Amino acid sequence: MEVIIQPSQDAANVVAARIIEDLVRRKPAAVLGLATGGTPVGLYKELIRLHRENGLDFSRVTTFNLDEYVGISPEHPASYHRFMRENLFDHVNIPAANINIPDGNAPDIPRFCAYYEEQIRRAGGIDLQVLGIGHDGHIGFNESTSSLASRTRIKTLTTETIEANQRFFAPGEPVPYHVVTMGVGTIMESHTCLMLAFGAGKAHAVEAMVEGPIMAMCPASVLQMHRQTIVVMDEPAASRLKKAAYYRHIYENKPDYQKLCPFPLV
């Protein structure tokens, strides 16, 4: 696990975007796993800037999103279909046919989940999976106690997650209890995981993920066993890491090419 601590969220997003840019320029038909929520918005803004100003070409890229709510329209203001259009897809040149987002309205959700897994396999697997971390250490919608070998499936959200996501819905509008999410095992099969973490509110989860024991109570902790995980965070998110000075020392003393791309991504 490569831990990259940056002075600000903006600086962290630049580092993360450069890692994705390097992958897409070297492998134009890259398969990207994408996340939603507040965490990746700045990253997507930087990717849009790179597309518009630096000619970063997404025309051969394929994407798979982590999750979607069950039972709301793709046009709903809080749906992840709409989130992705507004925050990325409407602003870059990824072909619509190459975009894959879980269908929370599928008539047979278990069958759809098996289909989604098959589509990932047919695409050759995910080259780089963007992740955020929940306050309790969840990734995707794999809540605490999720199986660390789980596949794409329907999940019931915790009260804490529902409360955290209420801000994306109209006042008084209920947040769905159920979601379709990639499983932890599905995420772990990605070639590279790019985890973003920002703010002091994520410090406890980051500490558990990076330096705590591997356990289902903190699903993100399994990333310690992933072959190529890059964790990019700001200083507040890193505030509880016991080895923070060592992580900074490692990054500051890397050759420039390794700072851009710590691992061979393809």
Task: Give me the torsion for CA of 210, 127, 76, 156, rounded to 10°.
Answer: -50
Q: For position 257, what pLDDT does the model report?
A: 73
pLDDT bucket at 104, cuts 50 / 70 / 90:
very high
10 given a catalytic annotation: no
160 given a catalytic annotation: no
- The count of other CB atoms within 10 Å of the CB of residue 121 is 10
118 given a catalytic annotation: no
| Burial (CB count within 10 angstroms: exposed 0-12, middle 13-18, buried 19+), residue 163 | exposed
- Three-class SS state of 46: helix
Q: For position 261, what pLDDT does the model report?
A: 62
Structure tokens that stand for 256 in this block: 């420039």
Q: What's the CA gap between 114 and 251, in Å, rounded?
A: 40
Rounded to an integer, the average pLDDT of 71-76 is: 96
pTM (2 d.p.)? 0.95
Give 206-262 as a DSSP string: HHHHHHS--BTTBGGGGGGGSSSEEEEEETGGGTT-TTHHHHHHHHHTS-HHHHH-S
**Per-residue model confidence as pLDDT tens digits over 182-198:** 999 999 999 999 999 99
Active-site annotation holder among 68, 117, 136, 234: 136
Q: Is the pLDDT of residue 255 over 90?
A: no
Residue 168, C-beta contacts closer than 8 angstroms, at least 6 positions apart? 77, 78, 175
Question: Which domains can be identified in the chain, with CATH numbers?
Answer: 2-260 (3.40.50.1360)
Q: What's the CA gap between 208 and 145, in Å, rounded?
A: 14
Active-site annotation holder among 51, 76, 81, 138: 138
256 given a catalytic annotation: no
Q: For position 30, what pLDDT does the model report?
A: 98
Taken as a whole, the chain contains a residue count of 266
Q: What's the CA gap between 129 and 221, in Å, rounded?
A: 16
**What strand order describes the sheet that includes 178-181?**
67-69, 178-181, 153-156
**Per-residue model confidence as pLDDT tens digits over 235-246:** 999 999 999 999
Active-site annotation holder among 2, 46, 67, 127: 67
Rounded to an integer, the average pLDDT of 210-218 is: 98
Active-site annotation holder among 21, 46, 127, 143: 143
Residue 54 to residues 23, 48, 51, 186: CA-CA distances in angstroms?
15, 10, 6, 32
